[in-house]
Copies of this chain bind each other. A is one copy, B any other.
């Protein structure tokens, strides 16, 4: 039907007849002539309908925005002074000889260039996706997956599909369940990741596996979560942590070069979990922001100020300072005040600060409500350790370490943005040496920091069991500009170690067999050393595209209540369908009843 895409018609075709098809992007009537900007996925093309060609012109008078048409005509140079340098086809136009209206269009609910609310965009997603920015984002996504496959195919990885109807496994989040018709009262779970299947593929000797695969988590959705998401899932055998992370950062460099022509550093810096928490209050530090946390517990542990002295003396407490260059001069009083409720969201009970006006004046050169509680030694110690200069500001966090890290870690990002301190750069790093276990105070047991299949550095199960609090894992996260874009680990490949870890996690022998019997069984038959990683595709493409939400790089995303506004899913279903699946609906009872 078409000889060229609209965006491909250019000066080289002047004098030739072309056939194009697409949508009426804009129609203008000017001097008795009708001008139509015709749009297809490759761009815009100006088509001219001349009243001298009566039949075609009369037909063109019916054209409205978003009509779908097929046009044949001759390419000619635009009259001088009317060229459009912003378009590939901006030097030419097509004089229409024939016009076929393939389909009419009602007035769309919103126009391409309009800002509109996301609800309307999601309801009419097929209109929203006509916008050039959305077309480009989804094409970037394809470019990224193509580059992933090119690199992995080249490096001997084999794409293997794993099941979607699987067994419920505890990956830390809630499963989506699927009732079985043929096994009454039984359920499949949609996979949270193909973790165990990819490990089984290593046991099968595939050596290098990958898959770009949908995964599912039935969690309450935050801004950047979706109930179904896509990951690049990778596993390798006979490689150690350094070899795996080395190959994976090579992949990342390849992707950024191929997709958006960016050179990432070689190698990526590596940082231990401990260092990341200490300096940035986060295990996914945004290295574009030059602010850092500094510990000051030793300086204030004996001071009168209980807010500081308490956490400073407590084993699970932390007292830290965040120095903000220009914070004293560029942050308004209102901004500073607003940071208190901001850190409050992370559990901080307040936000102390010191403004450094004139350091040379000692105490008198400082400004702070908490100054009176601090000794001279503490004040000078803080100034010295933070290195704060005149005109700067120091924020403080003092609480349980988790609260301080979350609050000051978030404040660091917020202040960095507010003061324009975020470098225009790509700053990846590896975060390594995660603790194996986190203590769950509510459940009074250890939880797995990554997942229960992550190998500890300690090779001896009994040594591991003797001191779980200090066990360090062979896990690694790839972090980019404050986002975790990939996470993985060397896996446990021996049955005794796997059992020891299950024991530590409070998974009893019976439960081990019931949930992971097949894994423990498989570990008996010569499992090779293996490890892998998973990259979050949605997040990665979002970062590359400079989009604000992963919803903007997913063709048909769900809302924060996990609904599809376009198709209206989920829906009710018939009693007959439920009966066949051996389930019935049990609606929640209202509190008042």
Contacts of A566 in B (CB 8 A): 200, 518
- Interface status of A375 (Cβ within 8 A of chain B): no
A540 → B minimal CB distance (Å): 14
The closest CB in chain B to the CB of A200 belongs to B126
Which residues of A in the span 130-157 have a Cβ within 8 Å of any Cβ on B?
Answer: 130, 134-135, 138-139, 141-142, 145-146, 149, 153
By the criterion CB–CB under 8 Å, are B182 and A179 in contact?
Answer: no
* Complexed CA–CA distance, A189 and B581 (Å): 13
- Interface status of A420 (Cβ within 8 A of chain B): no
Which residues of A in the span 550-568 have a Cβ within 8 Å of any Cβ on B?
Answer: 554-556, 558, 561-564, 566-568
By the criterion CB–CB under 8 Å, are A158 and B183 in contact?
Answer: no
Contacts of A179 in B (CB 8 A): 177, 179, 583
The closest CB in chain B to the CB of A215 belongs to B164
By the criterion CB–CB under 8 Å, are A205 and B22 in contact?
Answer: yes
Which residues of A in the span 173-196 have a Cβ within 8 Å of any Cβ on B?
Answer: 174-190, 196
Contacts of A174 in B (CB 8 A): 181, 577, 580
Among B126, B161, B188, B529, point to the contact of A570 (Cβ < 8 A).
Answer: B188
- Interface status of A313 (Cβ within 8 A of chain B): no
* Complexed CA–CA distance, A105 and B522 (Å): 10
By the criterion CB–CB under 8 Å, are A204 and B129 in contact?
Answer: yes
A530 → B minimal CB distance (Å): 10
By the criterion CB–CB under 8 Å, are B572 and A166 in contact?
Answer: no
The closest CB in chain B to the CB of A188 belongs to B570
Q: A103-B527, A558-B165 are in contact. Are A181 and B218 (CB under 8 A)?
A: yes
A147 → B minimal CB distance (Å): 11
Q: A178-B176, A555-B197 are in contact. Are A564 and B525 (CB under 8 A)?
A: no
Interface 1/0 per residue, A504-525 and B, CB below 8 Å: 0000000000000110001011
Contacts of A216 in B (CB 8 A): 164-165
A564 → B minimal CB distance (Å): 7
Contacts of A526 in B (CB 8 A): 23-24, 66-68, 103-105
Number of copies: 2
- Interface status of A167 (Cβ within 8 A of chain B): yes
Contacts of A167 in B (CB 8 A): 564, 567-571
By the criterion CB–CB under 8 Å, are B586 and A129 in contact?
Answer: no
Among B21, B227, B230, point to the contact of A161 (Cβ < 8 A).
Answer: B230
Q: How many residues of A contact B (CB 8 A)?
A: 122
By the criterion CB–CB under 8 Å, are B204 and A528 in contact?
Answer: no
Which residues of A in the span 9-33 have a Cβ within 8 Å of any Cβ on B?
Answer: 21-24
Among B21, B149, B230, B561, point to the contact of A149 (Cβ < 8 A).
Answer: B149
A98 → B minimal CB distance (Å): 15
The closest CB in chain B to the CB of A583 belongs to B583
Interface 1/0 per residue, A295-311 and B, CB below 8 Å: 00000000000000000
By the criterion CB–CB under 8 Å, are A187 and B573 in contact?
Answer: yes
Among B5, B158, B176, B187, point to the contact of A571 (Cβ < 8 A).
Answer: B187
- Interface status of A588 (Cβ within 8 A of chain B): yes
- Interface status of A159 (Cβ within 8 A of chain B): yes
Contacts of A129 in B (CB 8 A): 201, 204-206
By the criterion CB–CB under 8 Å, are A177 and B573 in contact?
Answer: yes
Contacts of A318 in B (CB 8 A): none
Contacts of A586 in B (CB 8 A): 578-579, 582-584
- Interface status of A270 (Cβ within 8 A of chain B): no
- Interface status of A223 (Cβ within 8 A of chain B): no
By the criterion CB–CB under 8 Å, are A160 and B135 in contact?
Answer: no
A218 → B minimal CB distance (Å): 6
- Interface status of A494 (Cβ within 8 A of chain B): yes
Interface 1/0 per residue, A161-172 and B, CB below 8 Å: 111111110000
- Interface status of A253 (Cβ within 8 A of chain B): no
Among B164, B567, B573, B580, point to the contact of A228 (Cβ < 8 A).
Answer: B164
A274 → B minimal CB distance (Å): 29
* Complexed CA–CA distance, A227 and B176 (Å): 17
By the criterion CB–CB under 8 Å, are B525 and A108 in contact?
Answer: yes
- Interface status of A2 (Cβ within 8 A of chain B): yes
* Complexed CA–CA distance, A104 and B196 (Å): 20
By the criterion CB–CB under 8 Å, are A525 and B106 in contact?
Answer: yes
A412 → B minimal CB distance (Å): 33
- Interface status of A102 (Cβ within 8 A of chain B): yes
* Complexed CA–CA distance, A23 and B192 (Å): 31
- Interface status of A127 (Cβ within 8 A of chain B): yes
By the criterion CB–CB under 8 Å, are B577 and A587 in contact?
Answer: no
Which residues of A in the span 260-318 have a Cβ within 8 Å of any Cβ on B?
Answer: none
By the criterion CB–CB under 8 Å, are A206 and B41 in contact?
Answer: yes
- Interface status of A1 (Cβ within 8 A of chain B): yes
By the criterion CB–CB under 8 Å, are B184 and A588 in contact?
Answer: yes
Contacts of A176 in B (CB 8 A): 165, 178
A169 → B minimal CB distance (Å): 9
- Interface status of A239 (Cβ within 8 A of chain B): yes
* Complexed CA–CA distance, A172 and B298 (Å): 71
By the criterion CB–CB under 8 Å, are A525 and B105 in contact?
Answer: yes
* Complexed CA–CA distance, A23 and B204 (Å): 10
3 shortest A-B CB distances, which residue pairs?
Answer: A105-B526, A129-B204, A167-B569
A-B contact pairs, 6 of them (CB 8 A): A129-B204, A161-B214, A181-B562, A182-B562, A189-B569, A214-B214
Known: A166-B567, A582-B586. 14 other contacts (CB 8 A): A21-B238, A105-B525, A125-B200, A127-B525, A142-B158, A142-B159, A146-B159, A161-B555, A164-B228, A165-B176, A177-B578, A182-B561, A187-B572, A583-B584
